[in-house]
Amino acid sequence: MTLNPNQLDAEQLYATLLADVKAGLAGVPDVAIVGIHSGGAWIAERLAADLGLSARCGVLDVSFYRDDYAKKGLPAEVKPTNIGFEVAAANILLVDDVLYTGRTTRAAINELFDYGRPARIMLAALVDRGERQLPVAADFVAGHVAVPKGQALVLQKRADDGKFTLTIE
């Protein structure tokens, strides 16, 4: 579904993503969920709770794996990668909030392979904004939106109730 960038309902998008993921993972053995810091990690944690997979949920910070690391340097807040399950032979659902160029996804896959060789990696994104630079496509995506160049879609998680909001900055 193509969305109007001024009318993004992150909670409605999450409900769509959850339903798609639940249907798509039915019957898939040895599933684990890995979110990319920070928005993807929030979504992954919530998906894991809703799907009963909290014990098989991990998070990645791809800062050191990005191809622009030398140019951009280390971000101010590097989060720890935490994967407390066996990646080798697992069916991994990799989760990001916004799929854009594909470079973050590539970095995440590279880091995942440092933990073992998964049987399969599936990709879920709350929103796909297009403009890919690498041949990356999500298996599960709640919506598509065009965002003007120079602007970003930013997922936020409210502290009081954990609900998601999406804004354009």
The reported pLDDT for the residue numbered 18 is: 98
Q: Running DSSP on this structure, what letter comes out for residue 18?
A: H
Please report, in tens digits, the pLDDT of each residue of the chain (169 residues total).
Answer: 677 777 799 999 999 999 999 999 999 999 999 999 989 999 999 999 999 999 999 999 998 786 665 555 555 576 789 999 999 999 999 999 999 999 999 999 999 999 999 999 999 999 999 999 999 999 999 999 999 889 999 999 999 999 999 999 9
The predicted structure's pLDDT at residue 111: 95
Query: What domains sit in the chain, N to C, each tagged with a CATH number?
Result: 2-168 (3.40.50.2020)
Whole-angstrom CA distances from 97 to 28, 46, 117, 140 are 23, 12, 24, 11
Model-level pTM?
0.93
What pLDDT score does 132 carry? 96
List helix spans (H) across 29-169. Answer: 39-51, 69-72, 103-113
Q: Shortest CA distance to 112 belongs to which of 86, 75, 135?
A: 86
